[in-house]
Amino acid sequence: ADWVGSKRKRLRELTWGDGIIYGFAQALALIPGVSRSGGTITAGLFMGYQRRAAARYSFLLALPAVFGSGFYQLYKAVKEPCTQALASAGTCTPEVFGPVETAAATVVAFVVGLLVIAFFMSYISRRSFLPFVIYRIALGVLLMILLGTGVLAA
């Protein structure tokens, strides 16, 4: 995709149709092992968006899912605290996922995510996605070998 797309479009040129294609690309992440950000960035590149614009939109698409899951976990921690009976049944781990811990984890994940995004945006404005492609292919081949030889169980 890095070599195919024109890389001329900016985010302000985003159309409804492009948004739908981005949405379908994001939905592919429901398949185990498919990278959400990789899929949406690739879709953006194929549609002709600049590397930085494709990556920025991909990260913007992640915000509702990240905040939604964080707030949902916080809601569950407050509404359904882990009791000894639930812990005995293996449903939860006592005093690990309480409201304070969940809120702290959400804030830390958000801050670390922002730092990683800042680094990544700086990186891709100067370099290609090729190292990430090689990493994903190598990891996929390694996992298929490990699964095929029985070293890992599916």
Model confidence over 38-61: pLDDT tens digits?
889 999 999 999 888 998 899 888
More confident position, 142 or 77: 142
In a domain, 63, yes or no: yes
Q: With a cut of 90, say whether residue 21 has pLDDT above it.
A: yes
- Has residue 2 been placed in a domain? no
Six-digit token string for 25: 């690309």
Residue position matching structure tokens 């698409």: 61
Rg (alpha carbons) of the chain, rounded to whole number: 19
Q: Is residue 5 part of a domain?
A: no
- Does the residue 154 lie in any domain? no
Domain count within the chain: 1
Domain-embedded: residue 153? no
- pLDDT tens-digit map of 59-81: 888 888 778 877 887 777 777 77
- Domain presence at residue 127: yes
Q: What is the pTM of this model?
A: 0.66
**Segments forming the whole domain that contains residue 93:** 11-148
Range among 2-6, 58-62, 98-102, 124-128 rated most confident: 58-62
Q: Is 6 within a domain? A: no
Report whether 22 contacts 61 (CB < 8 A).
yes
Let me know if residue 36 belongs to a domain: yes
From residue 150, give the alpha-carbon distance in Å to each of 2, 61, 63, 137, 154: 35, 37, 38, 20, 9
| DSSP secondary structure, 110-134, as one string | HHHHHHHHHHHHHHHHHS-SHHHHH
